[in-house]
Amino acid sequence: MNGSALTRVLFRTADQERRFRYTVDLVRHLVGREFHLRYRRALFGFVWALATPLARLAIFTFVFTKVIPLGIADYPVYLFTGIVFWGWFAGAVASTTSCAVDRRDLLLRPGVPRAAVPVVSALTDAIDMIAALPVLFVFLMWGPGLRASVLLLPILMLMQLLLILGLGFALCSLNVYLRDARLVVDIALLLGVYLTPVFFRSESFPERYRFLVQANPMARLLIAYRDVLVQGTFPAPGPLLVLGLVCLGICAGGYAIYAKASPTFVDEL
Amino acid sequence: MNVIELDHIAKRYRRPAGGRTRSLRALAERVGTVEHWALHDVSFSVARGESLALMGTNGSGKSTLLRIIAGTTRATKGTVSVRGNVSGLLTLGDGLQPLLSAEENAITAAVLSGLTVAEARRRLPEIAAFAELADVMDQPLRTFSDGMRLRLAFAVSVHVEPELLLIDEILAVGDLRFQERCLTHLEHLRDAGTTLVLASHIPSHIERLCGRAVWLADGRAREVGDTAMVAERYVDSLRVAETAPAPGGSQSTMRLGDRRVEIVALRLLDRLDQPVTSVTPGSGIAVEIDYDAHEPVEDPILVVSAHTAADGIRCFDLNTDTDGVSVGRLEGEGRLRLELERLDLAHGRYCLDVGLYSSDWSCPHDYQWEALAFEVVGIRSSAPLAPPHRWSAS
């Protein structure tokens, strides 16, 4: 790709370009540092990153195939897909909500772009998800097999990142002014795991409650993930595009709130 | 060209009353918000390469003003324009990670101050050398003393080549030799064209580094102008505030302070460290103070002054703050010492006042007037000073 042509489109001035490159570098460095902190000192680093999702996988597979059989084909893969991507969503939304309070030190740095703070938070929580991907691929090769549709995975992940950032930007702003926001978010996520088809199929929802799934972008994302990974089919492009636009819209809306509120955050912290 | 232009800026803080944090409970209980104007109508500009001092007591608005210039918060009124990349020593050591190595922390600090990771790695040897920590950069930061952390943080923030460097009250920490290196380095940066804004309590630092000064009092710019003039007026204002509670002409010992640190014993010692009550002119003496800090006190100011017993004429008035000396953290019992190389006082009785003040002069911990009396046996004079002298005629 012609780098200079692209940068000319993206940035009006050299200063903007420098600022953007710096921000990317900063975010990458801070996420890398969190990664080191989390796993370097633990003896089995990655093993611990996987321990929680694998434990969840084991217990829910037992419950939903033996105790209350749901009759879903390839249930472990189906479930693990749900656990991995819901896990990223829930962890990232929770930590992004409190990121301004937790990372006050970053907001007090003159050169650090304020928007970088929630982005670092959301990406840091992606570490566990990325650590689980190889395991997910092993499950897939074992069970239904890897198909070409897996190429859509990065696009779905990007859409999920936009969704997380949008919610994170907005909730983080709210949390600065009302410290209860974090508690409300925790409860909402606790309920959300049951209102999103993480363990079961959305078809299991009775018709009159189906709207809960339909209006929930995270539920739609999970359905798309499963189409791509478990069924090995390409989702219909129309609804996928709409979902992408919804995620982008949520991200833009959340950012607008954050951009308005964040210049005076440090006064409240 | 001006790097900083502040035009009639004001800053209002609004907080829930009673020091509460914002929460639904505060809303439900209808805790009102309290308004506080930290700055009123402040205007000044700083040209490229100029260095400006911000003076003023705690709560006068210095830190708020620095934050506004740094862009980490926004002025409520007025316009602010700041050009160039800003580096600040505003929150020293914040965001450092004790588990990671000094090297990793230095890179993070440099990146947070505006360098890319590659640039930060390139400057690392220079930073380590300046901080005098080159041999231990691979050690985890938790093994570092406060002084070492400070040196590292300072070294990073001055090696990122900022166009505008903001420094908030941190030069007072660290040992004297490193302090001197920092001052010299700041002089070099200034001479190389870096714009400097320095908030400090230490007149000697301010006068050395800054051509112009702003004195803030209760959020207003009381004086803006030449450093020597502003510093003098600022110090004068402190002196009035400081001596105001003194008992008028009382001969009895008076104490004042919150007693977080108590002065439990006071001795006057001669050259051989023997307690004395009378000294000869020109001889060296030491004042030794035993203290008991009931709770840890950070960097208090030690004051020792003398006046004549008869009519209260001040002979000297020394304190660690104007000398730029850091007392450090006081915890439990300990001893502080002031050595006077020679005391050229005339024959007569004198009184020593000693005191420990909080690091920003805002409150005395233990101030004792006329804590100790001593006698000088020597030349009789109607004035307190008797300098070494020789007469001759030709």
**pLDDT tens-digit map of B52-110:** 988 887 778 888 888 888 888 888 888 888 887 787 777 665 667 888 888 888 898 88
**pLDDT tens-digit map of A220-254:** 999 999 999 888 888 888 999 999 999 999 999 99
Average pLDDT estimate for B343-369? 86
SS3 B223: strand
Can you tell me the distance from the alpha carbon of A69 to that of A66, in angstroms, rounded to the nearest whole number? 6
Residue B78: closest CA among B284, B221, B265, B228: B221
- Give the confidence band of B250 by pLDDT, cuts at 50, 70, 90: very low
Beta sheet of B329-340, edge-to-edge order: B261-269, B285-298, B329-340
CB-based contacts of B64, cutoff 8 Å, min separation 6? B11, B38, B39, B73, B219
- Tell me which of A72 and A172 has the higher pLDDT: A172
- Tell me which of A170 and B148 has the higher pLDDT: A170
- State whether B108 and A28 contact (CB < 8 Å): no
Q: Which residue has the tokens 């796993």?
A: A39
Interface test with A, best of B111, B119, B157, B170 (most A CBs within 10 A): B111
- State whether B113 and A109 contact (CB < 8 Å): yes
In whole angstroms, what separates CA A234 from the centre of its chain?
21
Average pLDDT, chain A: 86
Can you tell me the distance from the alpha carbon of B357 to that of A245, in angstroms, rounded to the nearest whole number? 62
- Residue A33 has its nearest CB partner, among B22, B74, B108, at B108
**pLDDT tens-digit map of B181-231:** 888 888 888 888 888 898 876 777 788 888 898 988 888 888 888 888 888
**In A, which residues are within 8 Å of B107 by CB distance?**
29
B17: left (phi over 0), alpha (psi -120 to 50) or beta: beta
Average pLDDT estimate for B231-237? 78
Amino acid letter for position A201:
R
Give the per-residue pLDDT at B171. Answer: 61
Number of cross-chain residue pairs from A and B with Cβ atoms under 8 Å apart: 82
Give the per-residue pLDDT at A169. Answer: 95
**pLDDT tens-digit map of A26-62:** 999 999 888 887 776 665 666 777 788 888 888 888 8
Interface test with B, best of A109, A185, A269 (most B CBs within 10 A): A109
Can you tell me the distance from the alpha carbon of B344 to that of A80, in angstroms, rounded to the nearest whole number? 86
Residues on chain A bordering chain B, Cβ-to-Cβ distance under 8 angstroms: 21-22, 25-26, 28-30, 33, 36-37, 41, 103, 105-112, 176-180, 263-268
Rounded to two decimals, what is the model's pTM?
0.72
Pairing between β-strand B77-82 and β-strand B2-16 as defined by DSSP bridges? antiparallel
- How long a stretch of residues is chain B? 394
Other CB atoms within 10 Å distance of the CB of residue B377: 10
> In this structure, what DSSP letter does residue B300 have?
P
Give the per-residue pLDDT at B220. Answer: 87
Pairing between β-strand B364-376 and β-strand B278-279 as defined by DSSP bridges? parallel
Give the per-residue pLDDT at B240. Answer: 52
- State whether B166 and A110 contact (CB < 8 Å): yes
Give the per-residue pLDDT at B251. Answer: 35
Residue A98: closest CA among A17, A158, A177: A177
Average pLDDT, chain B: 82
Residue B113: closest CA among B69, B63, B73, B166: B166
Interface confidence: ipTM more than 0.85 = no
Give the per-residue pLDDT at A1. Answer: 43
**In B, which residues are within 8 Å of A108 by CB distance?**
67, 72, 90-91, 94
**pLDDT tens-digit map of B1-17:** 788 888 888 888 887 77
Q: Which two tokens stand for residue B19?
A: 């020091």
- State whether B72 and A22 contact (CB < 8 Å): no
Give the per-residue pLDDT at A7. Answer: 64
Task: Find the largest Cα–Cα distance for chain A.
Answer: 62
- Residue B87 has its nearest CB partner, among A29, A33, A110, at A110
Contact B194, B225 (CB under 8 A): no
Give the per-residue pLDDT at A138. Answer: 87
Give the per-residue pLDDT at A258. Answer: 94
Give the per-residue pLDDT at A230. Answer: 87
Average pLDDT estimate for A133-153? 85
Residue B249 has pLDDT above 50, yes or no: no
**pLDDT tens-digit map of A90-110:** 999 999 999 988 888 888 888
- State whether A21 and B116 contact (CB < 8 Å): yes
Contact B131, B145 (CB under 8 A): no
Residue B186: closest CA among B200, A192, A222: B200
% pLDDT > 90, chain B? 8
Q: Which two tokens stand for residue B25?
A: 């409970």
Residues on chain B bordering chain A, Cβ-to-Cβ distance under 8 angstroms: 13, 15, 21-25, 27, 67, 70-74, 85-88, 90-91, 94-95, 97, 99-100, 104, 107-108, 111-114, 116-117, 166
- Give the confidence band of B245 by pLDDT, cuts at 50, 70, 90: very low
**In B, which residues are within 8 Å of A98 by CB distance?**
none
**pLDDT tens-digit map of A179-226:** 888 999 999 999 999 888 888 888 888 888 888 888 899 999 999 999
| Helices marked H in chain A | 3-10, 14-39, 45-62, 75-97, 99-102, 104-107, 116-124, 126-142, 153-177, 181-195, 210-214, 217-226, 237-261, 265-268
- State whether B111 and A178 contact (CB < 8 Å): no
Residue B180 has pLDDT above 90, yes or no: no
Contact B360, B55 (CB under 8 A): no
- Give the confidence band of B318 by pLDDT, cuts at 50, 70, 90: very high
Contact B139, B101 (CB under 8 A): yes
Average pLDDT estimate for B294-306? 90
Residue B293 has pLDDT above 70, yes or no: yes
Contact A87, A129 (CB under 8 A): yes
Average pLDDT estimate for B143-171? 80
Which residue in chain A has the smallest CA separation from B38? Answer: A267
Most trustworthy range by pLDDT among A157-171, B175-189, B240-254, B368-382: A157-171
**pLDDT tens-digit map of B41-53:** 888 888 888 889 8
The CA dihedral of B196, B200, B206, B209, to the nearest 10 degrees, is -30
- Give the confidence band of A122 by pLDDT, cuts at 50, 70, 90: very high
B61: left (phi over 0), alpha (psi -120 to 50) or beta: left
Which residue in chain A has the smallest CA separation from B28? Answer: A178
% pLDDT > 90, chain A? 36
Average pLDDT estimate for B332-349? 89
Average pLDDT estimate for B165-185? 74
